[in-house]
Amino acid sequence: MSKMDNSRRLFIGAGAAATAGLVIAPGVTLLDLAHARPADEAASSAKRWGMLIDSSKCATGCNDCVAACGKENGVASTGHPETDPQWIRKVELKEIKTGTSHSLPMMCQHCAEPPCVDVCPTGASFKRADGIVLVDRHICIGCRYCMMACPYKARSFVHEEHEDQNPDVPRGKGCVESCTLCVHRIDRDQQPACVESCKEGAMLFGDLNDPNSEISKRIATYATTQVRADLGLNTGVRYQGI
């Protein structure tokens, strides 16, 4: 009996791994996303959404994730690069001594101890129960203190008026904004747009609190990095290969 149970568990495990492997293809939902949260149920701290980015798979010059983010969230260039918001950007790294180069996408790291939340005077900058760090534009006064506090330069201030927003992603002049981890998609069991767009499978999205999720297993197996780990912010976005 116990043997049978075991073998069944193994079978399920293999199935899960197979499904998770399939996630590399765009649009395929991860197994650990399959438990839909009903619309009237609040996000819970049982989950902590996170992302693992493998910089060895991320190609210099590829901008797919940035383009997908812009399309999904309506973040477009207005021709003023200094003031244009950027929710996600491709960063090119070159080791000063060895000259080794890396390419990776950089966005809000969704810290467990977010400095932006600590400094926000009105509480507009907040962390949702499932670990997603957001700006509540209804009470953001546009003081930009969070931008001063963020060690990742993840936040942007909206310097100009915007129209034709995506109905799912309200955004407008005078407030601060940043990557929402595509919270509107997560809430309907979809993956962030950037993850879905990555043909190389360099981005893995999942629940860091679930030891059986693909992301947790990868983090348990391979050496992964938190950017500015010295700050002890416990980021939700992790990197592999740097």
Partner 1 sequence: MNFEAFRKIENSVFYALLGVFGLIAAAGMGAAYYMESHGHVVTGMTNQIVWGMPHVFAIFLIVAASGVLNLASLGSVFGIKVYKVRGMLSGLLAIAMLAGGLTVLMLDLGRNDRLIVAMTHLNLTSVFALNVFLYTGFFSIVAVYIWTMMDRKMHDYSKYVGFAAFIWRLALTTGTGAIFAFLVARQAYGTALLPPMFIIMSFSFGLAVFLLVQTAMYRWNNRQLDPTIQRRLKNLLAVFVAAVLYFTLVYHMTNLYFAKQSAFERFILLDGGIYTTLFWVGQILLGSLLPLAILFHPEMGKKCNWVIVASLLVIFGGFAQLYVLLIGGQAFPLSIFPGYEVSSSFFDGRINPYSPSLPEFLLGFGGIAVAALITTVAVRVLPFLPDDSVLHGETAGE
Partner 2 sequence: MSNPAKRRSVLGWLGAALAAVLLAGALPAGAHDEHGDHKVIAKGDKCVEDAAYMRRNHMKLLKHQRDETMHKGIRTTQYSLKNCIECHANPKTGSVASSKEDFCMGCHTYAAVKLDCFECHSTKPKAAGGTLHPIVAPSVQPEGTDKQSSLSGKMRWQMQANLASLNGGEGVK
The residue within the footprint of partner 2, chosen from 167, 220, 221, 230 (CB under 8 A), is 167
Q: How far is the CB of 173 from partner 2 (least distance, A)?
A: 7
Whole-angstrom Cα distance, residue 191 to residue 212? 18
**Which of partner 2, partner 1, none sits in contact with 129, Cβ below 5 to 8 A by type?**
partner 2
Least CB distance to partner 1 at residue 37 (A)? 27
CB-count burial class (<10 Å; 0-12, 13-18, 19+) for 37 = middle
Residues 29-88 that bind partner 2 (CB under 8 A): 37, 39-43
CB of 203 to partner 1, least distance (A): 17
Residue 73 phi/psi, 5° resolution? -105, 0
Cα(107)–Cα(104) distance, integer angstroms: 10
CB atoms near residue 173 (< 10 Å): 11
- Written as six digits, the tokens of 41 are 């149920």
Per rule CB under 8 A, is residue 76 in the interface with partner 1? no
Q: Count CB-CB contacts under 10 A for residue 135.
A: 22
Nearer CB in complex with partner 2: 118/160: 160
Phi, psi of 203 (to 5 degrees): -115, 130
Enter the tokens of residue 136.
């509540």
Which one of partner 1, partner 2, none interacts with residue 163, CB within 5 to 8 A by kind? Answer: partner 2
Q: How far is the CB of 215 from partner 2 (least distance, A)?
A: 20
Tell which one of 19, 24, 102, 126 touches partner 2 (CB under 8 A).
126
Question: 48, 57, 90, 110: which one contacts partner 1 (CB under 8 A)?
Answer: 90
Residue type, 54: D
Query: Shortest gap between Cβ of 191 and partner 1 (angstroms)?
Result: 23
- Beta carbons of 112 and 237 less than 8 angstroms apart: no
Instruction: Indicate the SS3 state at residue 203.
Output: strand
Question: Where along the sequence are the contacts to partner 2 (CB under 8 A)?
Answer: 37, 39-43, 126, 128-130, 134, 136-138, 161-168, 170-175, 183, 187-188
Contacts with partner 1, residue ranges (CB under 8 A) = 66, 80-86, 89-97, 102, 106, 115, 117-124, 139-145, 147-153, 156-161, 173-176, 227-228, 231, 242
